Amino acid sequence: MDLLGIVVRKVLLLIIPFLIALILTVQFAPEFTYLSFFILAAGLYVLLRQMAEKIEFLCPKCGKIFKTSATAFFFSPHQTYYKLLKCPECNKVSWCIAKYYDGVELRAKVRKIKDKEISVKSLIVQLAVIASSYVVFLASWILTDVKDLVLLSSSTLLFILFSSFFAYAIKQEYRNQIYYVLTFFGVFIILLLSFLQVVASLAKS
């Protein structure tokens, strides 16, 4: 059984109803367009719970086979067949490989992952950097003439999402260098929204 194929099929089953709902609401009832995003959020929650309940991971440190919670499944970084998790047996954080899905062994591509640790202080600094980029966006939104609520909502949701990732990492002591990548993407996207906010204001004036 191939994990990537399972995930692709389940994501398609999630995205298709969302797109249908989005098209129908935009076409016939645009004032209820937001409902399609509630459908997407509900579907994502169900998907995460189902995946967390069915996938079993192998700890490379002690060999323990275990399942994780939906919260850990969502907030923990992953790399195709691997997920950064804290083993309930040895209590160590490592890249655990997805071993079984619903009791059936997965055809996982085993490879060596560089597991270089960073300090918790580094995670806190990165969280502060993301918060600073959000402050930059808020300043651009407040000081410009155009008040684009879509950009404000998008940047706020992104800030909450990335902040939650880092808060969970700090709590679980996920001191892995992959968070540098998350910081880069978080800051880049939020600053891009700041740029779009300024461009929209200049275009109006």
pLDDT at 14: 66
pLDDT of residue 110: 66
Q: pLDDT value at position 168?
A: 92
The pLDDT assigned to 32 comes to 65
Q: Which domain holds residue 132?
A: 120-204
Mean pLDDT, the chain cut into blocks of 10 residues (205 residues total): 64 70 71 67 78 88 90 86 90 88 76 74 93 94 82 88 92 88 93 88 75
Same domain assignment for residues 11 and 91? yes
83 located within any domain: yes
Q: Secondary structure of 77-118 in the HEC alphabet?
A: CEECCEEEEECCCCCCEEEEEEEEECCEECCCCCCCCCCCEC
* Whether 176 contacts 115, CB under 8 Å: yes
Give the model's pLDDT for residue 185: 93
Q: Are residues 48 and 79 in the same domain?
A: yes
What are the residues facing 101 on neighbouring strands? 55, 104
Task: Provide the strand spans (E) within the chain.
Answer: 55-58, 65-66, 78-79, 82-86, 93-101, 104-105
* Whether residue 68 is found in the same domain as residue 100: yes
Residue 194 is assigned to a structural domain of this protein: yes
pLDDT of residue 131: 95
Query: How many Å is the maximal CA-CA distance in the chain?
Result: 63
Residue 135 located in a structural domain: yes
For residue 187, the model assigns a pLDDT of 94
* Number of domains within the chain: 2
52 belongs to a structural domain = yes
Is 89 part of any domain? yes
Residue 98: per-residue pLDDT: 87
- The whole-number pLDDT of residue 114 equals 66
State residue 100's pLDDT score: 87
21, part of any domain = yes
57 three-class SS:
strand
Global pTM?
Answer: 0.78
